[in-house]
């Protein structure tokens, strides 16, 4: 069963992180203001006929229309999955990491350090959150940790 305009609008309105913006021809766009990149439109042109386009910039260009996927005939579960994937993707900075991304690094004596992304820098933090070092790239941060005898652990948070 194809969802109506009202049903789709109710789905999109249920996301508090999305702001509804009326556009021409009784259509609505939904913006994700906390986007880590310039792109903020998650849902484009929700139309009274029930069609809408959801951002899918994480897919190959040939699978989208200008970076969006039509959801005219999609069910609620599919629409929610696509919206959540779009929001998740837009939370990541241009270098592909979400603010606060963290990895745990371990050394043989049992010491644990955290590698943490704080856009635009990478930090090595001690267990008490004191800064051990700040680096411009993840690669430089990882090289430092390896030189100090640390290995990326299984406790990595992503």
Element (DSSP H or E) covering residue 139: helix 138-147
Q: Is there a single domain that holds both residue 118 and residue 142?
A: yes
Q: Give mean pLDDT, residues 83-99.
A: 86
Residue 97 lies inside a defined structural domain of this protein:
no
Residue pair 115/105 in contact (Cβ under 8 Å)? The answer is yes
Q: Whole domain around residue 106: which residue ranges?
A: 102-152
79 domain residue, yes or no: yes
Paired sense of beta strands 150-152 and 102-107, if any: antiparallel
Look up the pTM and report it. Answer: 0.68
Q: Quick check: 94 pLDDT over 80? A: no
Predicted confidence (pLDDT) at residue 156 exceeds the cutoff of 80:
no
Name the more confident of 142 and 1: 142
Cβ neighbours around 155 below 10 Å, total: 12
Q: How many CA atoms lie within 13 A of 150 on its CB side?
A: 21
Same domain? 28 vs 86: yes
37: tokens are: 């990149």
**pLDDT of amino acid 57:** 85
In the chain, the number of structural domains is 2
* Residue where a domain stops, chosen among 44, 61, 90: 90
The pLDDT of 64-85, averaged and rounded, is 95
pLDDT of residue 157: 46
Q: Kindly state whether residues 73 and 140 are assigned to the same domain.
A: no
Residue 28 predicted with pLDDT over 50: yes
C-alpha closest to that of 12 among 83, 85, 87: 83
Residue 95 domain-assigned (yes or no): no
Asked whether residue 157 is assigned to any structural domain, the reply reads: no
Closest listed residue to residue 93, CA positions, set 122, 64, 68, 129: 122
Same domain for 110 and 78: no
Q: Is residue 66 part of a domain?
A: yes
Residue 106 has pLDDT above 60, yes or no: yes
Question: Is 33 in the same domain as 110?
Answer: no
The yes-or-no verdict on residue 84 having pLDDT over 80 is yes
Q: Where are the alpha helices (DSSP H) in 76-132?
A: 76-90
Contacts 24+ apart (CB under 8 A), 13-19: 15/83, 15/87, 17/87, 18/42, 18/43, 18/83, 18/87
- Residue 61 has what DSSP assignment? G
Is 83 in contact with 54 (CB distance < 8 Å)?
yes
Residues 15 and 76 in one domain: yes
**108 in the same domain as 39:** no
Residue 96 resides in a domain: no
Query: What is the Cα–Cα distance from 23 to 27, expressed in whole angstroms?
Result: 5
Which pLDDT band, with edges at 50, 70 and 90, does 114 fall under? very high
Residue 154's pLDDT band, with cuts at 50, 70 and 90, is: low
């Amino acid at each position: 069963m194809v969802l109506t305009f009202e049903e789709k609008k109710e789905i999109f309105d249920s996301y508090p992180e999305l702001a509804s913006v009326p556009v021409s021809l009784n259509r609505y766009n939904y913006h994700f203001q906390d986007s880590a990149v310039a792109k903020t439109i998650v849902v484009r042109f929700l139309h009274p006929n029930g069609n809408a386009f959801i951002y899918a910039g994480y897919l190959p260009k040939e699978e989208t229309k200008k970076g969006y996927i039509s959801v005219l005939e999609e069910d609620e579960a599919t629409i929610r999955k696509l919206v959540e994937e779009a929001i998740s993707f837009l939370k990541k900075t241009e270098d592909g990491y979400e603010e606060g991304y963290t990895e745990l690094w371990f050394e043989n004596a049992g010491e644990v350090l955290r590698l943490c992304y704080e856009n635009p820098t990478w930090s090595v933090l001690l267990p008490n959150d004191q800064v051990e070092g700040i680096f411009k790239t993840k690669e430089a941060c990882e090289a430092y940790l390896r030189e100090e005898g640390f290995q990326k652990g299984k406790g990595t948070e992503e």
